[in-house]
Structure formats: structure tokens, C-alpha cells
């Protein structure tokens, strides 16, 4: 019998601005806020790991943690490229621009599926910038971990102590490496992936938010919703999450019948 998959106790979500300059950064911030509002409305705890702001406002990239045994189930289909079509506030001629942001959802597990050798990790310390009172800049509390074999690096600066930031960075690094490992496994077994919604790859275009038509379309399940403001600005994601879960269950049921 296949052992029970451990339910992740939370996730790390990474949102990165893609094509589209400042407008993409603003969209990245809206996506990050959408997930955090949904989490807060469900009573899940959220905390910022790291952020890089764009000069025109918004995020070049942001990483945050959401802790709840229900969050991975809710957000597991959010990984991929999200696209927004709208007239930016800075646009004088009223032209519609298309911008993108990518989302990655990394499950956090108490028992990691992979082993990391301590000799593969380089550690750097620095003073953390940004909010947090006077304490923040005086001590080198910010931690950056580099996994040498893959080049993956993680920075945590939201905690007050170096130790806490190190622990947080380590749990994120493990989640990233697990995610990379799972993507590689999935590529090896590409035929198995046909039984899933989309590819689960962070470069796959999964959803378009079209403001002029007040429509959000998920391209994997070919379903649209007409409530951009409610979904994107108020975090009303229940219908989207339910539709993706239903489609996934149908595929699972079909797969088990096929077996």
C-alpha cells in the first residue's frame, strides 16, 4: 500500500513580475495581496519572507509564507504565469497593455522528501533593510543561503534574529529543492502528467485577467468568471479554487477508472 502523503503544514508563495515593466510589478503586488486576503479571511497566518520593490510601485518579486494544513490544497493549482490585460493608469492613449507575473507555490513539509548535504550550502549574513523599527539595521540578521549544486538562493530578512531567519531560509530552500525535484521527476514521467490539470510548471500560462471585459479565464479548464474586482481585489477565490478542485477530481476519477 502506498503510504499516506504527508499534508503540507503550509506553503511558500513566490510572485515575480514578468513582462510589462511597472504594470507587471503592480499586477504582481495585486496577486500577492489576493492570496494574502484570502488567507486572512480563512484565518490562516501569513508572514513576509522577502520583497524587492519596483521603482514605480509594486513588486519585482515577493516571497511570503502561509501556514495552514488547508492552504496547499487551496492554492496548489496557482503555480504558473498569470496574465493581465488592461489600460494602465499611466497610459494616456487608452491602449490596452498585456503584462504577466509568475506564481510558484512551494509546499512546506515537516518531513522533507530530500536530503541536503550541509557542505552544499553557503551562508551569507547582512543587515536587513526595510520596516521593522530601529533594531533592523544594526545587526546582521538577514540570511542568504546558496545551494551550490543548483545555484538556488534564498533570502530571509523578516525575522528579528539571525537564527530565526536561518531556520526560515532553510525551510524555504528545502521546499524549493523539493519542488525542483518533483518537476524533474514529472518531466521524466511526462505521460503521467497528462492526468493533471496543466503541467504544474511555473512557465505555463494558466490564467488571464481581462479588465475591459471584466473576465478571468483559466486556460487549463476553460472556465471564466465575471468578477475581477471581487476576485483580484477582495480575494474572493472560492469559486476558482472549487472549479479547479472539481476538474482535478474528475481527472483523478477518470484515471482510477482507466487503471
CA pair distance 166, 155, nearest whole angstrom: 9
80 Rama sector, left if φ>0, alpha if ψ -120 to 50, beta otherwise: left
Residue 151's CB: how many other CB atoms inside 10 A?
7
- Give CA 78 to chain center in angstroms: 7
Q: Where along the chain do its domains lie?
A: 10-258
Q: Nearest CA to 155 among 52, 71, 67?
A: 52
Contact 225, 231 (CB under 8 A): yes
Instruction: Tell me 2's DSSP state.
Output: P
The dihedral over CA atoms of 22, 24, 27, 29, expressed in degrees to the nearest 10, equals -70
Q: Can you give the pTM of this predicted structure?
A: 0.79
Q: Give residue-wise pLDDT tens across range 30-77.
A: 999 999 999 999 999 999 988 999 988 899 999 999 999 999 999 999
Angle at 103 between CA 36 and CA 22, to 5 degrees: 85
For domain 10-258, the question of CATH label 3.20.20.140 is answered with no
Report the residue count for the chain. 259
Residue with cell 512551494: 106
Q: Give residue-wise pLDDT tens across range 82-107.
A: 999 999 887 888 899 999 999 999 99
CA pair distance 33, 37, nearest whole angstrom: 6
Task: List the single range of 5-14, 99-108, 146-155, 184-193 with lowest mean pLDDT.
Answer: 184-193
Q: Nearest CA to 74 among 44, 114, 116?
A: 44
Per-residue pLDDT at 148 exceeds 80 = yes
Amino acid at each position: 500500500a502506498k503510504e499516506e502523503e504527508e499534508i503540507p503544514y503550509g506553503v511558500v508563495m513566490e510572485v515575480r513580475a514578468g513582462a510589462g515593466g511597472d504594470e507587471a510589478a503592480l499586477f504582481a503586488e495585486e496577486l500577492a495581496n489576493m492570496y494574502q486576503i484570502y488567507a486572512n479571511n480563512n484565518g490562516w497566518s501569513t508572514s513576509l519572507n522577502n520583497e524587492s520593490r519596483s521603482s514605480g510601485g509594486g513588486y519585482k518579486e515577493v516571497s511570503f509564507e502561509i501556514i495552514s494544513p488547508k492552504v496547499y490544497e487551496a492554492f496548489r493549482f496557482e503555480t504558473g504565469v498569470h496574465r493581465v490585460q488592461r489600460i494602465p493608469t499611466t497610459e494616456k492613449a487608452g491602449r490596452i497593455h498585456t503584462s504577466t507575473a509568475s506564481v510558484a507555490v512551494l509546499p512546506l513539509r515537516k518531513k522533507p522528501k530530500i536530503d541536503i548535504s550541509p557542505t552544499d550550502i553557503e551562508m551569507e549574513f547582512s543587515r536587513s533593510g526595510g520596516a521593522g523599527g530601529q533594531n533592523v539595521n544594526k545587526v546582521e540578521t538577514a540570511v542568504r543561503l546558496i545551494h551550490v549544486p543548483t545555484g538556488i538562493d534564498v533570502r530571509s530578512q523578516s525575522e528579528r534574529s539571525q537564527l530565526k531567519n536561518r531556520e526560515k531560509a532553510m525551510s524555504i530552500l528545502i521546499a524549493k529543492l523539493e519542488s525542483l525535484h518533483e518537476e524533474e521527476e514529472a518531466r521524466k514521467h511526462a505521460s503521467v502528467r497528462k492526468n493533471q490539470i496543466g503541467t504544474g510548471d511555473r512557465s505555463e500560462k494558466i490564467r488571464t485577467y481581462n479588465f475591459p471585459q471584466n473576465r478571468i479565464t483559466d486556460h487549463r479548464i476553460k472556465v471564466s468568471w465575471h468578477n475581477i474586482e471581487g476576485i483580484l481585489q477582495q480575494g474572493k477565490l472560492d469559486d476558482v479554487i472549487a472549479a479547479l478542485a472539481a476538474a482535478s477530481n474528475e481527472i483523478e476519477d477518470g484515471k482510477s477508472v482507466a487503471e
